[in-house]
């Protein structure tokens, strides 16, 4: 990253910390992200282990490859739990028009799942800087519905709670098996999302705030390895 990009991260984290001085801020934030879910994703060593006997040939390392059987998951969650999730239809391009339709469905789910936030219109959407989320079409929808958004530095997973917490935790709960079709992927992915507790979400937000401070102290450098909070 350039010095300018690092400073942008520092400035953004400082803004978030200042906003968090409001004791109700954490309860108002709904963060969003997307992830591809494949038919099989050997994320951990445990998942790629095989039973071997002394005479077995040397084990080949598992290499992650893009499977033809996959689906994209979109998740919105807050400090209390998942507010809305959906899967991108096969062949659908995630463009601004589609993103606005997703936001419309989110708006309805907020009305039903978080009626107090919807009634007061105090909820805040945190999303990254993906092209579909920064276009004029998206901006007009957010403005028309008076939906507040959090600024986000150039997209990096170390500052996105879905990437460093929610998706890894959900994948760790998923069974270590190959999925035969997209419907099975959806069913098996939805289960761990429902198993995440309010305590899990609170822990996620606490770790996210730690990332802000660490990013500032590092001068905006990318956080990785031991510098990123570990999901527990």
Chain segment 52-96, per-residue pLDDT in tens: 334 444 544 445 555 577 888 999 999 999 999 999 998 899 999
Task: Show the tokens assigned to 21.
Answer: 């001085």
CA 154 – CA 126 distance, rounded (Å): 13
pLDDT tier, 155 (very low <50, low <70, confident <90, very high otherwise): low
Q: Is pLDDT larger for residue 60 or for residue 204?
A: 204
CA 45 – CA 77 distance, rounded (Å): 28
- Average pLDDT on 117-123 reads 91
pLDDT at 34 over 70: yes
Lowest mean pLDDT among 37-41, 105-109, 217-221: 37-41
pLDDT tier, 40 (very low <50, low <70, confident <90, very high otherwise): low
- Average pLDDT on 154-170 reads 74
pLDDT at 230: 45
pLDDT at 175 over 80: no
**Domains of the chain: which residue ranges?**
3-223
Share of the chain above pLDDT 90, in %: 41
Lowest mean pLDDT among 54-68, 69-83, 117-131, 208-222: 54-68
Q: Given phi > 0 = left and psi -120 to 50 = alpha, else beta, which region is 201? A: alpha
- Per CATH, the number for 3-223 is 3.30.420.10
Q: Which residues, 6 or more positions from 228, have their beta carbon under 8 angstroms from its beta carbon?
A: 158, 164, 211
Q: Do the Cβ atoms of 31 and 76 come closer than 8 Å?
A: yes
């Amino acid at each position: 990253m350039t010095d300018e990009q690092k400073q942008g991260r520092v400035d953004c984290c400082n803004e978030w910390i200042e906003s968090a001085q409001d004791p109700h801020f954490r309860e108002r934030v709904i963060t969003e992200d997307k992830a591809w879910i494949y038919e099989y994703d050997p994320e951990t060593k445990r998942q790629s282990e095989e039973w071997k006997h002394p005479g077995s040939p040397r084990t080949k390392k598992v290499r992650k490859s893009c499977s033809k059987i996959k689906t994209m998951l979109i998740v919105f969650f807050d400090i209390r739990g998942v507010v809305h999730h959906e899967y991108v239809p096969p062949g659908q391009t995630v463009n601004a028009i589609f993103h606005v339709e997703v936001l419309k469905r989110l708006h309805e789910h907020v009305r039903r799942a978080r009626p107090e936030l919807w009634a007061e219109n105090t909820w805040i959407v945190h999303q990254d800087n993906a092209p579909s989320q920064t276009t004029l079409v998206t901006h007009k929808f957010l403005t028309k519905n008076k939906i507040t958004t959090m600024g986000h530095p150039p997209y990096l997973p170390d500052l996105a709670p879905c990437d460093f917490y929610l998706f890894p935790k959900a994948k760790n709960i998923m069974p270590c098996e190959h999925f035969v079709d997209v419907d099975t992927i959806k069913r098996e992915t939805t289960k761990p999302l429902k198993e995440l507790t309010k305590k899990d979400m609170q822990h996620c937000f606490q770790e996210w705030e730690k990332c802000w401070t660490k990013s500032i102290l590092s001068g905006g450098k990318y956080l990785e390895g031991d510098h990123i909070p570990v999901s527990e």
